[in-house]
Amino acid sequence: MKVEFVSKQIIKPSSPTPQNLGIFKLSFIDQLAPVMHTRILYFYPNIQNEAADRDHDRFERLKTSLSETLTLFYHLAGRMKDNAVIECNDEGVEFCEARVHGGFLSDILKQPDADSVHQFVPIDDAHLGSGFLAKVQVNLFDCGGLAIGVSLSHKIADASTIGSFIKAWSCAAVGCMTESMLPKYILGSLYPSMDFPIVLPAVEFRHFNCITRRFVFDSSKITKLKATAASKMVENPTRVEAVLALIWKCVTIASRTNLGITKRPSMVSQFVNIRKRTSPPLPETCVGNFLGHFMAEEPGESNNDDSEMNLQGLVIHLRKGLEQFTKEHVQKLQEGNNAFMTVCEGLKDLELVYKEGIDFYGCTSWCRFAFYEADFGWGKPKWVSIPSLKIKNSIILTDMSDGKGIEAWVTLSEQDMALMETNLELLEFASLNPSII
């Protein structure tokens, strides 16, 4: 399967950005965000078997509606300056057209591969100073199917912002844009930018020999898993709590087994969308980064290595961590004098990722963002994927197309993954990389 790039052009807003909106000030949370792009990938089968002469129409629809959407998300077409503001100069976003030869979209859907999907999304060259805050790569398969890869700078977008942008874009493509979809530019005034002595460098992840695998939890298995994970303290675990607890248990056991030990602390850091947790809640359409993370720890100090590593106990740890985060972190964020220090203290926790003597796992949940609703005029996507960054001990959770099941992309060392793939408790509730078709 070969991806051939046919054209690359700049898409600008359909209407000039008003002069009074020429400067977009970052929030200090955006300023602290990593210099990297976050990417998402949509797969659309050619259900109607459109003729070749319609391919041009589909590309034009995407470009025209993207241009219209950039009039609303005008900051995406601008350029970053000094890690403090975006000059909204309408310089545009990158739009690449590509043809995929030697394979069909169904080949990808039959056996999804964590490595192969990277060729369908824009290259993250933020560290090279490309300047683009948003990129799109549209891949046309020989069968007529499409894969649309979208990449937004993490400096100005979290998962919620990406979801808002793609929802608005797809609705513009079919002419059903509503006022409720309009972006809200309020985070910069709530958390004003600050003067930092240096410009933050691009994120540099340490490279390990690691492998990514996709585990799928369908809705019926999640129902059983939630019942198993329930306890008097958490009578009704959420989907994410139940799935993450099971994965946390299995990866920790794999690590301890390979190390030949039974006592070793294990920690999970889970990122949380803060918008709905403030009082009053902020609209999901407010753009920028407004997320934090909480920590949950399984101390690993018991003589019986299975006494603490049970689903009920891990779910309790996760629930307590989230409740404490909401009560303390979110409350401090809403107290203006404490907000900056609160965010900085939270970032320090992430230094544990490289600390010796503990197992540290980072989880990002992209569930409940309705990514499967993106219909550009040829139906909803058959599959939505979040290409893995290949970060060791990372877990990415996404919804399945029914909105009830969960896909988990787990990245571990080769040794730990070998045990994960054969863990009977995990495979009781999850399928290893099943076909999407």
Q: Are residues 150 and 230 in the same domain?
A: no
- Is residue 200, in this structure, part of any structural domain at all? no
CATH number of the domain bearing residue 325:
3.30.559.10
Percentage of the chain beyond pLDDT 90 is 75
Residue 78 confidence (pLDDT):
97
| Residue 196 belongs to some domain of the structure | no
* Average pLDDT for 138-149: 94
Q: For residues 431 and 420, what is the distance between their CA atoms, to the nearest angstrom? A: 12
pLDDT at residue 346, rounded to an integer: 78
Same domain, 31 and 180: yes
For the chain, counts of helices (H) and of strands (E): 12, 16
- Is residue 143 domain-shared with residue 271, that is, in the same domain? no
Q: Compute the average pLDDT of residues 260-264.
A: 90
Residue 99 and residue 18 in contact, taking contact as beta carbons nearer than 8 Å: no
6 contact partners, CB below 8 Å, separation of at least 6: 97, 98, 99
Q: Is the pLDDT of residue 85 over 60?
A: yes
Is the pLDDT reported for residue 303 higher than 70?
Answer: no
Q: Are 200 and 32 in contact (CB under 8 A)?
A: yes
Residue 293 counted as domain residue? yes
Domain check: are 248 and 164 in the same one? no
Tell whether the model's pLDDT for residue 202 goes beyond 70: no
Domain membership flag for residue 19 = yes
Q: Give a yes or no: residue 356 inside a domain.
A: yes
* Positive/negative CA dihedral, 30, 34, 35, 40: negative
DSSP helix/strand/coil, 371: helix
Same domain, 64 and 177: yes
Do 159 and 300 fall within a single domain?
Answer: no
End-of-domain residue from the set 155, 190, 225: 190
Burial of 231 (0-12, 13-18, 19+ CB in 10 A): middle
Distance CA 181, CA 401 (A): 22
Asked whether residue 158 falls in the same domain as residue 70, the answer is: yes
The amino acid present at 162, given as its one-letter code, is I
Pick from 271, 265, 426: which is nearest to 360 by CA?
265
Q: What is the pTM of this model?
A: 0.93
Q: Are 5 and 121 in contact (CB under 8 A)?
A: no
Reading the block at residue 172, the tokens are 């513009």
pLDDT of residue 283: 96
Condensed to tens digits (0 to 9), the pLDDT of residues 18-44 reads 999 999 999 999 999 988 899 999 999
In this predicted structure, what is the pLDDT of residue 356? 80
Active site (catalytic) residues: 154, 375
Neighbour-count burial of 376, counting CB atoms closer than 10 A to its CB (0-12 exposed, 13-18 middle, 19+ buried): buried
Per-residue confidence band for 131, with pLDDT thresholds at 50, 70 and 90: confident
Structure tokens at 198: 């240096």
Mean pLDDT of 320-325: 96
186 and 215 belong to one structural domain: no
Q: Based on the domain organization, do 184 and 122 belong to the same domain?
A: yes
Q: Is residue 94 part of a domain?
A: yes
Q: What is the pLDDT of residues 204-238, one digit of tens each?
A: 555 568 999 999 999 999 999 999 999 999 999 99
Q: Using one digit for the tens of pLDDT, what is the confidence trace for 416-434? A: 999 999 999 999 999 999 9
34-43, 144-153, 223-232, 332-341: the lowest-pLDDT one: 332-341
pLDDT of residue 219: 97
Q: Which residues contact 39 (CB under 8 A, 6 or more apart)?
A: 121, 122, 124, 149, 150, 151, 152, 386, 387
Lowest-confidence pick of 34-38, 293-297, 319-323: 34-38
Q: Is 295 a domain residue?
A: yes
Strand-pair partners of 132: none
**Average pLDDT, stretch 108-135?**
85
162-192 pLDDT per residue, tens = 999 999 999 999 999 888 899 999 999 999 9
Q: In the structure, what pLDDT confidence band is assigned to residue 127 with cuts at 50, 70 and 90?
A: low
Give the whole-number percent of the chain exceeding pLDDT 70.
91
Contact 267, 351 (CB under 8 A): no
351-407 confidence digits (pLDDT tens): 776 678 899 999 999 999 999 999 999 999 999 999 877 889 999 999 999 999 999
Domain range for 31: 2-190
Task: Say yes or no: 360 and 223 in one domain.
Answer: yes
Q: Residue 245: is its pLDDT beyond 70? A: yes
Residue 262 pLDDT more than 90?
no
Q: Does residue 157 belong to any structural domain of this protein?
A: yes
Q: What is the number of structural domains in the chain? A: 2
User: Same structural domain for residues 305 and 177?
Assistant: no
Specify whether 44 is located in the same domain as 168.
yes
**Which pLDDT belongs to residue 123?**
86
